[in-house]
Homo-oligomer: A and B are copies of this chain.
Amino acid sequence: MKVELLSIGDELLIGQVVNTNAAYLAKQLNKIGLEVAYISVSADTKEAIIEALTMAHSRANLLLVTGGLGPTKDDVTKESLCAFYDDQLEEDPEVLAHIEFLFDTYIQTPIRPANRTQALLPKKAEVLKNEVGTASGMWFNHLGVTAIFLPGVPREMQHLMETVVLNRLKSMSSLIIRYRTLMTYGLGESAIAERIASIEEELPAELSLSYLPNFGRVRLRLLAKHTSESKVKELLAHYGDMLVSRIRDIYFGDEEDGGLAVQVLKAAKYANMTIASCESCTGGQIAAAITEIPGASSVFTAGFVPYQTAQKIGLLDIDATLISSYSTVSAEVAEAMALNTRLKTGCSVAVSTTGNAGPSKGDSDEPIGTVFIGISTEARTYAQKFMFGNLRERVIEKASLKALEMLYREIIK
């Protein structure tokens, strides 16, 4: 079984939009045992779409196409597939009634002629009704290929996948594909590779190991494929744990159990601790990362973003002379921010950030990229200094990750 994902849209070819649909589809298909062999992108023209469909039909058995099904002139997928499959459009009365219903009930603007054309659908296709939008899905079984056309709007595409498509594709594969991704911090990939070399060499054929380096972190992914669910679980548990035993000092949990923020929340819940944050240079990213997780409110009490220096003094009672003596970007101020946040919120552990994210230096003489991260618990208050380069977004991202890492280390103590 060869599976191809084809995304239609100029916005992808000009880099205006990142292809999250392909990532979503690949993940969902993996869960039902289908491996994706090809991902491709086509322009919004009839010629390009037909070329891409021709290519896909020559190399894949299952094809999932997204995009180009809207009501406006730049959407030409239906026209193109009619040319490709030698098909014609005809009005589907049920779909038309559904579109009219959506306009009456939710959209509450008069229905447009363009919206009615969305009920024109190819005769040879089985129509997949889109409950949450006006663009229907289409299912073709032609030329030896199962080809499924879905809208490009992520919410509508995902709804059709989860309510209709995945259930029907399930029977196509008896394979179980699962993976386990070990998150590590603090060691390069070749150093990790040396530590785990003897395990990597004796991995069974059902397992493959990949190194995913980025942002100074390396993730180790162990991918298992087998027809037995229990065998897959056993392989991932056994070899995953073997790997962990070699990298325990740099291991921060499995990504599948959630990212670093999830680990922080879990660890805090387990230790019966509460958390608060006080962010200057990270501007709320730490609070946002933690509160994105369901159930955060039982652990995360509150966050401050005292962005301007005057607010650090006014809202958090940081001593103005401390700031004038050491500057806002200093270990002393980071410590005071963490300490006062803990005292004001009554939490068990508070984390703080203060730094120069750039491009200009702000109220401090420290070079751009300098960040101090503070931690305060009842037992101690301390801060660490970091240099995170000179790209604003990266400084913020790296500082947020490092703060979560320090929080995690403090909590599991």
**Partner pick for A27 among B14, B22, B212, CB 8 A cutoff:** B14
Whether A283 contacts B294 by the Cβ 8 Å rule is no
Which of A87-95, A166-174, A226-234, A297-305 binds B? A297-305
Of all chain B residues, the one with the shortest Cβ separation from A28 is B15
**Partner pick for A74 among B210, B286, B359, CB 8 A cutoff:** B210
Chain A 264-305 near chain B by CB (<8 Å), digits 1 or 0: 000000000000010100111111101110111100111111
**Partner pick for A15 among B27, B71, B277, B307, CB 8 A cutoff:** B27
Complex interface: chain B residues within 8 A of A155 (CB): 394
Measured CA separation A393–B221 after assembly (Å) = 25
Whether B13 contacts A37 by the Cβ 8 Å rule is yes
Whether B305 contacts A283 by the Cβ 8 Å rule is no
Check A302/B304 contact, CB under 8 A, given A15-B23, A211-B74, A283-B290: yes
Of all chain B residues, the one with the shortest Cβ separation from A51 is B59
Whether A39 contacts B41 by the Cβ 8 Å rule is yes
A6 to chain B, nearest CB (A): 10
A309 to chain B, nearest CB (A): 9
How many copies of this protein are present in the complex?
A: 2
**Partner pick for A360 among B19, B36, B286, B295, CB 8 A cutoff:** B295
Whether B304 contacts A14 by the Cβ 8 Å rule is no
Count class of interface residues, chain A? 35 or more
A358 to chain B, nearest CB (A): 7
Name which of A15, A37, A48, A285 has the most chain B CB atoms within 10 A of its CB: A15
Chain A 31-51 near chain B by CB (<8 Å), digits 1 or 0: 000011111110110001000
Check A27/B16 contact, CB under 8 A, given A290-B283, A392-B294: yes
Whether A211 contacts B291 by the Cβ 8 Å rule is no
Whether A112 contacts B72 by the Cβ 8 Å rule is no
In the complex, A97 has a CB within 8 A of chain B: no
Residues of chain A having any CB pair with chain B under 8 Å: 10-20, 22-28, 30, 35-41, 43-44, 48, 70-75, 107, 109, 112, 114-115, 153-155, 177, 179, 181, 187-191, 193-194, 200, 208-214, 221, 223, 277, 279, 282-288, 290-292, 294-297, 300-308, 310-311, 314-315, 344-346, 358-360, 362, 392-394, 396
30 A–B contacts from the bound complex (CB under 8 Å): A10-B223, A12-B23, A13-B26, A14-B30, A16-B181, A19-B19, A38-B40, A40-B40, A70-B189, A70-B211, A72-B211, A74-B210, A112-B190, A112-B194, A114-B190, A153-B214, A279-B284, A282-B288, A283-B290, A283-B291, A284-B291, A288-B288, A291-B305, A291-B307, A301-B308, A302-B305, A302-B307, A302-B311, A304-B304, A315-B344
